Amino acid sequence: MSEDTVLIVGAGFAGAVHARLLAESGIKVHIIDRRHHIAGNAFDERSASGVRVHRYGPHLFHTNMEHIVAWLSRFGRFIPYELRVEALLADGRYTPLPINRRTINTVFGVDLRTAKETENFLATRAKPHPNPTTAAEYLASRIGTELTDLFFRPYTFKMWGLDLEQMDANVVKRIPLRFDDEDRYFPSDKYQILPQDGYTNLFANILDHKNIRINLGVEFDRTFLSGYRHCFTSMSIDTYFKEALGQLPYRSLRFHHRECAPNEHFGSAAVINFTDDGPFTRQTDWSLLPGHGGTSTTRTLTREEPCDFRDNAFERYYPVKTSDGRYDALYRRYLERAAAQPEITFIGRCGTYQYLDMHQVINQSMVSAARWLDSQNLSVC
């Protein structure tokens, strides 16, 4: 430990971006992570059959932020990939997701030919609401109760442990609705890419700097703070304050990986969503992602089973957002406490209690690092 060194807790995107930017500006950085690997939830590895698997679920990079892609490209090569998702219906049929014209034709047995016909059809089933605040109100106002109950009600309860009536509308507002045949999940994002050599290799390159030191398998202890110039931590903010004001809830995931024969049929998309009320929300076939396939005789599949984070060794993935905003209010109370400790900055999804995509975490971290360097009369190199 050194008073000239900055401590970073967490070796995921938030920690790694902070570390690299500070290191390139001449700051010595010490990273610790309670896990025994770098790359956080983006960590990937090859299975026994040679298939690349993302241990914590599929991480499919997409953004319109050119400066982020330019920065990442310093540390690895990328290959294009446009995600398509299918939903498995109870009768065994597959339909595109998010909902588009073909989805509606399949579900309702109609023959809508144009986007305008599709829009008009949904309008007859929608239940207008002047100011929807819950996920149920918002979805019903856009697509009606039939599609809401089929595609979102069971999935939402599995994913969040809450009914749609309890969920904040903003959680589902990010889900697009299409009236044409567009079936790409992120059609409006200019950059849709995967690291050619995997995320773990990408992180190894980001963290390869003479000013960066890493120790894995190390739990954070508040006594560490006295030996460092500053601390950036991606740990959950309520954990840092020993849940003095109450516990912030998160949803977690259990991952079920298995090998199967290549002729087993699971639709045509790499990611399949399950609309039933069973335990699983989705499945990823890694062999259908570019650069991930192994031998031709084996496919590796991963199914995701959501659960409360307390039932999964306190692995936190998704902050819970309710329609009454009570947990956001609790987070703001913790943030007030954090303001009294200028020697520490909370970063990333858990530190800021936000549902952030990878590009958003990177951008947030770039801004955060630049702000701190400016406070030290330094600048990002």
Q: Which runs of consecutive H residues, i.e. helices, occur in 228-323?
A: 237-240
**Residue 185: its pLDDT value, please?**
94
160 is in which domain, residue-wise? 85-173
CA distances from 107 to 45, 112, 158 (A): 38, 12, 22
C-alpha–C-alpha distance, residues 163 and 168, integer Å: 10
* Any domain includes 347: yes
Which percentage of the chain shows pLDDT scores above 70? 98
- Structural tokens at position 120: 């008009």
Question: Do 20 and 149 have their domain in common?
Answer: no
pLDDT in tens, 195-241: 999 999 999 999 999 999 999 999 999 999 988 999 999 999 999 99
pLDDT in tens, 115-129: 999 999 999 999 999
pLDDT at 296 over 70: no
Whether the CB-CB separation of 143 and 125 falls below 8 Å is answered with yes
Residues near 209 by beta carbon (within 8 Å), at least 6 away in sequence: 19, 20, 23, 24
Domain-embedded: residue 221: yes
CA distances from 5 to 2, 138, 164 (A): 5, 48, 46
CATH code at 240? 3.40.50.720
pLDDT of 295 reads 64
Residue 68 domain flag: no
Residue 107 lies in a domain: yes
Give yes or no: residues 327 and 240 share one domain: yes
Say yes or no: 112 and 226 in one domain.
no
* Statement to judge: residues 226 and 131 lie in one domain: no
Do 216 and 359 have their domain in common? yes
**Cα separation, 85 vs 369, whole angstroms:** 35
* pLDDT tens string 26-56: 999 999 999 999 999 999 999 888 899 999 9
How far are the Cα atoms of 41, 318, 361 from residue 348, in angstroms, in the given order?
12, 12, 6
- pLDDT for residue 326: 96
- Within this chain, do residues 12 and 113 fall inside the same structural domain, yes or no? no
Asked whether residue 263 is domain-assigned, the answer is no
Task: Count the domains in the chain.
Answer: 2
Residues 229 and 328 in one domain: yes
60 part of a folded domain: no
pLDDT tens track for 151-195: 999 999 999 999 999 999 988 888 888 999 999 999 999 999 999
230 and 121, same structural domain?
A: no
Task: Record the pTM.
Answer: 0.94
Say if residue 167 is in the same domain as residue 217. no
Q: Which two tokens stand for residue 158?
A: 């599995």
Q: Which helix (H) or strand (E) holds 24?
A: helix 13-24
Amino acid at 328: D
**What pLDDT score does 294 carry?**
67
| 269 is a domain residue | no
Same-domain status, 20 and 157 = no
